[in-house]
Structure 1
Amino acid sequence: MYHKSSYAFFDDADEASHRKEHHFIQDIIAAFHNNEFIVYYQPKVHIPTRRCYGLEALIRWKRGNEIIGPDTFISLFEKHGYIDELDMFVLKQACMQINTWIDAGIEPLSIAVNISGVHLRDPDIVNKIVNVCQYFDIPRNLIELEITESVMLEDIDDVMKKAIALKQAGFKLSMDDFGTGFSSLSILKKLPVDIIKLDREFFQKVMDQREKIIISNVIHMAQQLNINVISEGIETIEHIRFLQEIGCEEAQGFYFSKPLPMEKLDNILWTPFEMEEL
């Protein structure tokens, strides 16, 4: 008689790793419910006028005096089913900020927020986002919803239906990290986006001719499709000059400002950014 056995091997390192992750996810969930998570904003700049025309909302964990970036905790929020709460928290903070400007009689800026793949699989996602905007009484076209290419690859038909519904509801849609995967162009053909965000990986400190050719052609293609392009990771005046040469008018990056809390940004959002002579 043939007897088949199966074996699983565990070592102390695996067990220690699991325990560490378990404790860490408990810490970050507790921190979230204790209001230790805050939203920073990074300006998006129209190069010809040097003015901020919008912002991207970015989550941070304020752990005592330390500010922790999302790379440390986002994947754990996704893995353990809390990412939808985090997405909605950022959306609500963005809506509150827009509402604050409107109440103060200030012309509001649009704010971009990320929508995770987990959140997009929620069958009620459109109603949830609409309800938040209605609660804070803000125009939906002031909210830009960022979807990454990797999200599209998970279930393109379902994401497409949600994207169309969100567009019909009045929101702007953007594809984040454009160009980092193999399917960017085929997805762009299908997804009804208003904006593509060129990934910062394109903009190295020193750009070679191949990179410049690729970026130039992507921008020209998007313009022919009536899609706006914003270039992320802009850090040098050389980057700005190159974008001017190829007709890309929108940029985001440390050249203008790193992500900051609103109280540190408020003084610089309404006047032209300083630039070296172009």
Structure 2
Amino acid sequence: MYCLLSAQVQYQRAETLVRWRRSDGIIVPPYQFVPLFERNGFINKVDRYMFELVCRQQMRWLKQGLLPVPISVNMSRMCLYDPHIVDEYIGVLNVSGLSAAYIKLELTESAFFENISIMNNVIEALHKVGIKVLMDDFGTGYSSMMMLKNVAIDVLKLDKSFVDDIGDDRSEKIISNIIYLAHSLQIEVTAEGVETAAQFEFLKSVGCDYIQGYYFGKPQPAEDFAALLQKEFYDGSDAGADKKG
């Protein structure tokens, strides 16, 4: 297993993506192995491994004098049924020495539907130590609006299916109102799958907080992402206080 990082430094967010590199060098995409791991229970170990890996990597960058951006790590809905999972994650964070400000946990919208009581307990425990929670794939479920009322998420990730329909007047009105609603609840919004300048300009015009997608760059190994951090650090030093990063 190894990780890729997705997002751009100047937009102050990143997401860690797991990939399986076989012994022959071929990369196995997640849709081919994640469902299997969810069925056999191995996904809990994979998720914890990725969380620990990111904590260690962030600490290395800090010790190198870089200023890492917060990185979100996916947590499978299967992890929520482990009563010790939150304590284990907090333990990993404490051992690493990393501030909770540099790491977030990301769950798919479907995970929120399965047991709201468990979800709220998990979110409350994570919030107590400063870890923020993101809802991934927002808009793919049947009760999205109700979910916003019932769970205290920090960031809503607008599903790519909405972004793909930018240009359609009806779809743009829906996106605008989702962003407005989220902001009224003090929830930030990230749009996923942004690939064109037109999509980016529209999302910026309606107040979307962050974007993620190939418009700014493809997922890349940690060492390449570190080069971006280093460039942003030096560019930011030269540009002054108005520079994001």
Judge same fold: TM > 0.5, yes or no. Answer: yes
Name the structure where helix makes up a greater proportion of residues: 2
Q: Which aligned pairs between 1:11-50 and structure 2 lie closer than 5 A?
A: 37-44=1-8
Q: Which residue of structure 2 aligns with residue 128 of structure 1? A: 88
For 1:59, which of 9, 12, 18 is the aligned residue? 18
Letter in 2 for 1:201: S
> C-alpha offsets along residues 199-237 of structure 1, whole Å, 9 cap, x if unaligned?
111111763111111100000111111111010100000
Letter in 2 for 1:219: I
Q: Which segments of 5 or more consecutive residues in structure 2 lack a partner in the other structure?
A: 236-245
Asked if 2 retains the 8 angstrom alpha-carbon contact of 1:38 and 1:59, the reply is yes
Q: Which residue of structure 2 aligns with residue 147 of structure 1? A: 107
Shift in Å, 1:54: 2.0
Asked if 2 retains the 8 angstrom alpha-carbon contact of 1:44 and 1:250, the reply is no
Cα distance in 2 for residues equivalent to 1:169 and 1:146: 16
Cα distance in 2 for residues equivalent to 1:191 and 1:44: 28
Cα distance in 1 for residues equivalent to 2:82 and 2:227: 38
Moved more, 154-163 or 236-245: 154-163
- Number of equivalences: 231
Q: Secondary structure, in 3 states, of the residue corresponding to 2:164? A: coil
Cα distance in 1 for residues equivalent to 2:135 and 2:41: 23
Q: Which residue of structure 1 aligns with residue 135 of structure 2? A: 175
Letter in 2 for 1:97: Q
Q: Percent identity?
A: 37
Letter in 1 for 2:186: N
Q: Which residue of structure 1 aligns with residue 39 of structure 2? A: 79
> C-alpha offsets along residues 137-174 of structure 1, whole Å, 9 cap, x if unaligned?
10112211112121111111111111111111210111
Cα distance in 2 for residues equivalent to 1:206 and 1:145: 28
Shift in Å, 1:135: 1.2
For the pair shown, the structure with the greater C-alpha radius of gyration is 1
Letter in 1 for 2:2: I
Cα distance in 2 for residues equivalent to 1:52 and 1:250: 6
Asked if 1 retains the 8 angstrom alpha-carbon contact of 2:8 and 2:217, the reply is no
Q: Which residue of structure 2 aligns with residue 203 of structure 1? A: 163
Change (3 A) 1:134 1:144: same
For 2:196, which of 236, 242, 246 is the aligned residue? 236
Cα distance in 2 for residues equivalent to 1:52 and 1:93: 22
Cα distance in 1 for residues equivalent to 2:67 and 2:101: 14
> C-alpha offsets along residues 116-155 of structure 1, whole Å, 9 cap, x if unaligned?
1111111111110111111111011221111212111111
Letter in 2 for 1:110: P
TM-score by length of 1: 0.80
Q: What RMSD, in angstroms, separates the aligned Cα atoms of the two structures?
A: 1.5
Q: Secondary structure, in 3 states, of the residue corresponding to 1:266? A: helix
